Structure 1
Amino acid sequence: MADNAQVLSDIADIVNDITGVDQAEVTAEKSFTDDLDVDSLSMVEIVYACEEKFGVEIPDDKSKDLKTVQDAIDFVTANQG
C-alpha cells in the first residue's frame, strides 16, 4: 500500500501528463481548479488515470468532492487494497 508521499508523487505525474503542470507545482494543499487550472474535462481524465494507477474506483458523486490534491490522496489511501 502506497504512502501519502508516493500517492502525491504519482498524482503529480498524472496531472503533469494530462495538463502539463509541473510536478513541483502539484502539492497537497493545491486546489485542482483554482491553483492548478485543471478544467472539468482534464479532471475526468485525472480521475480515470488515478483509478487505473491506484486500482480504486472513484464514483462520479465522489469525484466531484476531490477539490484539492489532498482530497485525492485521502481518497486513494482510504480505498486502496
Structure 2
Amino acid sequence: MVFEKVVEILRNYKEEPELEVSMDSTFEELELDSLDTVELVMEMEESFDTSIEMDTELKTIADVVGLIEKAIA
C-alpha cells in the first residue's frame, strides 16, 4: 500500500501518469534533483501524516517506502 501511494505521488508530481517506478528506482533515474526530493518528501509526510527524516542515504524508492513504513508502524 505504501509503495502504491508513493508511486501515485511521484506520478502526480512529475505529471507523468505512466511513469515507470519500481522499488529499485533511484531519484537520479527518475530525474529528481535535491529540491524535487525535498518537495516530494514534504508531500509524502502530509499524505501519510508522519515525519520523514531526510538523509543522504535516501537514494531509492525502497529507501523512502521503508522509512514511511517504519514511521507509520
Q: Any unmatched runs of 5+ in structure 1?
A: 1-5
The alpha-carbon deviation at position 59 of structure 1 amounts to: 2.9
Percent identity between matched residues is 27
Scaled by the length of structure 2, the TM-score of the pair is 0.84
CA pair 49-15 structure 1, distance change in 2 beyond 3 A: same
Higher helix share: 1
What's the C-alpha RMSD, in Å, of the aligned pairs? 1.6
Distance 1:56 1:23, change over 3 A: farther
Aligned residues: 73
| Residue 42, structure 1, aligned to residue 36, structure 2 | yes
Segments of 4+ in structure 1 off by > 3 A?
Answer: 21-24
* 2:47 equivalent among 24, 28, 53: 53
